[in-house]
Chains A and B, each alone.
Chain A
Amino acid sequence: MWAFIHKLGSPKWFYGISAKLQPWFWAAAALLLLVGSLWGLVFAPADYQQGNSFRIIYVHVPAAFLAQSIFISMAVSGLVFMVWKIKVADMAAAVMAPLGAAMTIVALFSGAVWGVPTWGTWWMWDARLTSMLILLFLYLGVIALRGAFSSRDSASRAASVLAMVGVINIPIIKYSVDWWYTLHQPASFTLTSRPTMPTEMWLPLVIMVLGFYSFFIALTLMRTRSEILRREASKRWVQDLVNGQTVHVQAEETR
């Protein structure tokens, strides 16, 4: 177990293995997103109440899911980095933050666009949208904190602590915002909270969610790889790689 963790911790090993995994995730993402969007946007039946505008769900819900998942995986990466001092975990956390913030913005924007036909306004202090907005602030905080330190090691550890503090707070924030919303009840209709959804409507949604996740994994692998090259630029294996020599990716530890 220990050996495995340390192997995973080697940037060189990760660089090699991610090169093999990456194409599969790109392929899965392309396939799932294509099928999901065609099915969802063209073939799925229109909603009896909202008509075609409900189709925003196929972007909004996966983006919102992903926005939350990325924060959790960022915090887990931070924990792994803090406990085992595995640098790759921190590199992954570093590239996840802007991605998560982008997903949160996508979710917020699609929610706002959806609000126009549903509520007749671009913004409503709906419980989900409000939580999403707070999540965006949490992301921005992590990104800003990482950028504020001059020492990279301190920046990594500070961002890890903040991500962990944030992830403990996310459920608390979510429940308190839900509670606040039900207390004030400014609108009787909430996005995406529907009692039943026919199979032909939710199946493409599941496919879209899976597609978004594959896309996220592929993109994270790709960006982590470039982050590895950037941070390890002074290491010999990277210089060998750049100089075109073959690199033997072995189970040995590179520190």
Chain B
Amino acid sequence: MSLCLQARQLSCERDDRSLFTGLDLDIRSGEIVRIEGPNGSGKTSLLKILSGQLSDYQGELFWNGAPMKRVREHFLANLLYLGHAPGIKAGLSPLENLAWYQALSGEQNVGGHSEDQRLDALEQVGLAGFEDVPAGQLSAGQQRRVALARLTLSPRALWILDEPFTAIDRHGVAALERQLTMHAEAGGCVIVTTHHALTASPLLRRIALG
């Protein structure tokens, strides 16, 4: 089953200021969709609407053809959203942070088996050796990497990423870009905002706001 997220006549107005009007979107498997626009053009608001956080909009959202309101749970089970803030607790170690996210999504095997998964995921984002350090002692870029480890750890089809490259070094940016492409090639789907210039790819599609 291929996924598709559709929006029909999406309008968002925040305090009398119209951010976008009559937006139609068709986002499908195998795509990297980049939302573009100047600051304040409503990129984050659009991502929050698409991820079901903002309810203050007009228009309709469809997940695999069904109205979003009816299939919200199924949608959320397949969504991984990373916002401006990485969502990493400073008082917990990277391993503990990831364990909570795994439990939160109802992944049953939080025993030794998935401890290995978490260690692998952290190694992939270049945090080997930092597994048990409180996240508050890590740099901003490293904290962002802990959040990005969730991309490997949780096999979700739809990634919605708000400025995922923030605070990440050049090496990490390249690795993340590769990861996005691989995810799209494997039939997943990525919606992303970024000020980075993404390398051109047949999978990449741009949507301009503002």
Contacts and interface: CB of A to CB of B under 8 A. Distances in A.
Interface residues of B, number: 5
A152 B15 contact: yes
Interface string A214-255: 000000000000000001011000000000000000000001
Contacts of A231: 16
Contacts of B14: 151, 153
B30 to A, nearest CB: 35
B16 A255 contact: no
Interface in B34-58: 56, 58
A255 B15 contact: no
Interface of A is mostly: loop
Chain A interface residue number, banded: under 10
A233 B17 CA distance: 12
B56 to A, nearest CB: 5
Given A151-B14, A151-B15, A152-B15, A255 B56 contact: no
Nearest to B56: A153
A207 B58 CA distance: 46
A153 B14 CA distance: 8
Interface string B1-19: 0000000000000111000
Contacts of B56: 153
A152 B56 CA distance: 11
B16 A234 contact: yes
Nearest to B13: A153
A153 B16 contact: no
A152 B15 CA distance: 6
Contacts of B58: 255
A94 to B, nearest CB: 14
Interface in A82-139: none
A140 B16 CA distance: 27
A152 B14 CA distance: 8
Contacts of A234: 16
Nearest to B16: A234
10 contacts: A151-B14, A151-B15, A152-B15, A153-B14, A153-B15, A153-B56, A231-B16, A233-B16, A234-B16, A255-B58
Instruction: List the 6 shortest-distance A-B pairs measured between CB atoms, nearest first.
Output: A153-B56, A152-B15, A234-B16, A151-B15, A151-B14, A255-B58
Given A151-B14, A152-B15, A255-B58, 7 more contacts: A151-B15, A153-B14, A153-B15, A153-B56, A231-B16, A233-B16, A234-B16
Interface of B: 14-16, 56, 58
